[in-house]
Amino acid sequence: MILILAYSAVLLSFASGLPALMMHRRSFLLELSQHWSEKFPNGNDLRRSMMTGCLEEQQFPMRLRLAVFVLLGLSGVFAVLAGLSVLIGQQVVTDQIGLGLPWLPWHVRFDCLSGFFFLIVGIATSAVSLYGPGYVKGYDESRHPFAVLGLFTGLFVAGMLLVLLADDAFFFMIAWELMSVASYFLVAFQHENPANRRAAFIYLLMAEVGALAIILGFGVLAGFSDGFTFDALREAKLSTTWASIAFMLALLGFGMKAGIVPVHVWLPEAHPVATSHISALMSGVMLKIALYGLIRFCFDLLGDVHWQWGVVLLILGTVSALGGILYAMMQTHLKRLLAYSSVENIGIIFMVLGLAMIFMANGHPQLAALGLLAALLHAFNHALFKNLLFLGAGMIHHQTHELNIDMMGGLIKRMPKTSVLFLIGCMSISSLPLFNGFVSEWLAFQTALQVDVLDNGVLRSLIPVAAAALALTAALAAACFVKVFGLIFLGQPRSHHCDKAHEVQDKGMLAGSSLLAGLCFLFGIFPGLIISLINTVSGQLLGETLPNDAALGWLWLAPVSASQASYAPPLVLIGALITGGISFWYLRRNPATALRRAETWDCGFGGLTPRMQYSSSAFTMPFRRIFSKVWIIDEQIDKDMQGAMNQDVAAVHYRLQIQDHSWPRLYEPIARGVNSLAKRVGRIQTGNIRVYLGYSFTTLIILLWVIS
């Protein structure tokens, strides 16, 4: 039954592309009939009837679009049901599919780890299916055919689900490539824009480099085993050196897809140019599939982890978390900012996974289970609030045709429902209490605070530094999203489009975002609902669960012991409601403090204008001064002078450009080296047939010598 639900989710995601293909066929027949009617105006009745039938079918595209998202939504629902079934039942279900090579059928395994990530994919896909029909209405069918978008969206979701089901390296890589190639076409959907083509090329290039690293990692395991199935790979007996080589290859491949620093550069390029609901799936879900691959490879296939691997993950995660949020803070493009924020959150997850490895290798499996639970919970929470924020960005773009934060403002009065949903996303990602982001980061801190059980002095010094960096990251994230919400929704509009904006009228777009916002609040108040499910993942993967059963309670959350630390979100909510109610009652009954409306204080300037408001660069200027070495900053102030002796300032032009260090320090030298090598290799192409025959003869002689 569980596998039937999982297979149904995959098949429905594949089937969601069929209506898109039907749209493409009908549009082709319509164009063909119009061409015939123009070329043969006095044609026979067959041609005229074909044209009439195709013209009548112009009414169908709306229904076909809806069918795509209905099937996609059903796929999400079945994925959620399958994930919940295997998590609650704590089962491991295996199967074989008679596809692939004749001697290598596809092996399927559905366990608690797969089920948990099925849950993530299913919730996000369900929300997108509600959001999508209203969002895609704005696209011009002639320039951006929905057939392409619908087909590759279905293939993208199917690829992610198949990765979670794969139980052999061959099947895994086929599903991985399906996911990567389908998402490439989604990034390149609006291909008339050069920036989109460049972003798609960078994404595909890095995706294939990462896939090659994953293949080599599987190859190392397969070299010490009897096959490509995961059961065979688990039995591989590797030395510490070969195990570390396999780990580093997997870290490179999965880390590149997850967006870990310094192999993150595709992420802020690709996510902003994709359509908003696809950006939500890529940032909120696809990055988690990469995390699944790393967890499966390290904790399941390799088995015996080493504390040095945990240190590598801890350092990379710390750098990614701090670097990601600092880069995000400097952005003025909303979706690019959200993309860099994903780098930060992936860094947090890597940090906690590193702690889990360190505790596991040092003989503390229960604390390792706490670290794994914190990492998985943050992955789940990030999928919720990052999808919510990207869908919110899509609604803002849909209504204002603007993504530059400096050109927005005042939208809280024009888009009140969107502003509430976006505020919930901002509060969740800022790890504020009563929302889900706080719980997972609090558990991450609780994991780091258990460092006193370790005997290694280096680890006892390193982990507190990483915990301090995590605290700084959380504070910077809060400041970043204060900037985002304030500049977008508060103040006065800075552009004509924002001034004329109004609330989204499509109920589906609001429903999809409301679903995610409600879950952010629900799991912030009752985190035990999801923690109890994740605890089964730790038990099945590590053989251990949380140190304290009180962590599974609906009221109190005490992961280690109630004497050390505990958190009761329902009681915090009750306290907040009581405090807020008393404060509101006091302000209303006291005439001296009664609420009243008045004009905004203009400091004597005679009326506020949008030019008086803080811009993004002004808000972040103190952070830019403090952390100036983090970025490559080009800041210029040019003055136009006039009057006698050019003493009067006529105009001031301010320009600020901030660049990621990764491009000039890492990728540009690689690009120059590849170009130089290509030019040298190109010299062998002389154009002379005699030279080519000489190459062939030499190659033949070498091969005969090698074979003999």
pLDDT digits (tens, 9 = 90+) for 426-463: 999 999 988 999 999 999 999 998 888 888 888 888 99
Please say if the pLDDT value at position 27 is more than 70.
no
Same structural domain, 541 and 684: no
Mean of pLDDT values over 547-561:
66
Same structural domain, 539 and 681: no
Least confident of 90-94, 121-125, 468-472: 90-94
Mapped onto helix, strand or coil, the DSSP state of residue 608 is: coil
CA-nearest of 308, 226, 294, 216 to 254 is 294
Distance between CA 440 and CA 295 in Å, rounded?
18
Last residue of a domain, one of 526, 545, 564: 545
Same structural domain, 393 and 532: yes
Rounded (10°) angle between helices 240-258 and 194-223: 160
Please say if the pLDDT value at position 120 is more than 60.
yes
Same structural domain, 379 and 526: yes
Q: Establish if 120 belongs to a structural domain.
A: no
DSSP readout, 7-67? HHHHHHHHHTHHHHHHHHHHHHHHHHHHHHHHH-TT--HHHHHHHHHHHHGGGSHHHHHHH
Which residues have CB under 8 Å from 247's CB, separation 6+? 217, 297, 298, 302, 309
CA-nearest of 438, 448, 447, 439 to 557 is 439
The whole-number pLDDT of residue 36 equals 45
Q: What is the pTM of this model?
A: 0.89
CA-nearest of 239, 261, 242, 232 to 168 is 232
Mean pLDDT of the chain: 85
Which residues have CB under 8 Å from 154's CB, separation 6+? 13, 14, 15, 16, 17, 20, 68, 71, 72
Please say if the pLDDT value at position 43 is more than 70.
no
Higher pLDDT, 295 or 629: 295
Q: How many CB atoms lie within 10 A of CB 441?
A: 24
Last residue of a domain, one of 517, 545, 573: 545
Which residues have CB under 8 Å from 461's CB, separation 6+? none
Please say if the pLDDT value at position 692 is more than 90.
no
Last residue of a domain, one of 545, 575, 609: 545
- 100 sits in which H/E element: strand 93-101
Q: How many CB atoms lie within 10 A of CB 379?
A: 26
Mean of pLDDT values over 115-129:
94
Mapped onto helix, strand or coil, the DSSP state of residue 402 is: coil
The whole-number pLDDT of residue 32 equals 44
| C-alpha 261 chain-centroid distance | 14
Distance between CA 612 and CA 492 in Å, rounded?
10
Q: Establish if 413 belongs to a structural domain.
A: yes
Q: Establish if 487 belongs to a structural domain.
A: yes
Least confident of 58-62, 465-469, 613-617: 58-62
- 659 sits in which H/E element: strand 648-659
Q: Establish if 474 belongs to a structural domain.
A: yes
pLDDT tens, residue by residue, 181-229: 999 999 988 888 888 888 888 899 889 999 999 999 999 999 888 888 8
**Structural domain of 672:** 663-707
Token reading at 671: 């690009």
Q: Establish if 480 belongs to a structural domain.
A: yes
The whole-number pLDDT of residue 54 equals 45
Distance between CA 409 and CA 137 in Å, rounded?
25
Q: Establish if 213 belongs to a structural domain.
A: no
Q: Give just the sign of the alpha carbon dihedral 578, 579, 583, 584.
A: negative
Q: Establish if 401 belongs to a structural domain.
A: yes
The whole-number pLDDT of residue 379 equals 95
Domain tally, the chain: 2
Residue 340 — pLDDT band, cuts 50, 70, 90? very high
| C-alpha 390 chain-centroid distance | 10
CA-nearest of 643, 653, 537, 414 to 114 is 537
Query: What's the burial of 76, exposed, middle or buried (CB within 10 Å: 0-12/13-18/19+)?
Result: buried
Mean of pLDDT values over 494-505:
87
What residues are paired with 641 via a beta bridge?
Answer: 649
Same structural domain, 450 and 313: yes
Distance between CA 672 and CA 676 in Å, rounded?
6
The whole-number pLDDT of residue 626 equals 87
Q: Establish if 638 belongs to a structural domain.
A: no
Distance between CA 70 and CA 197 in Å, rounded?
30
pLDDT tens, residue by residue, 517-526: 999 999 999 9
Least confident of 57-66, 155-164, 232-241: 57-66
Least confident of 28-37, 128-137, 159-168: 28-37
Mean of pLDDT values over 360-378:
91
Distance between CA 41 and CA 156 in Å, rounded?
44
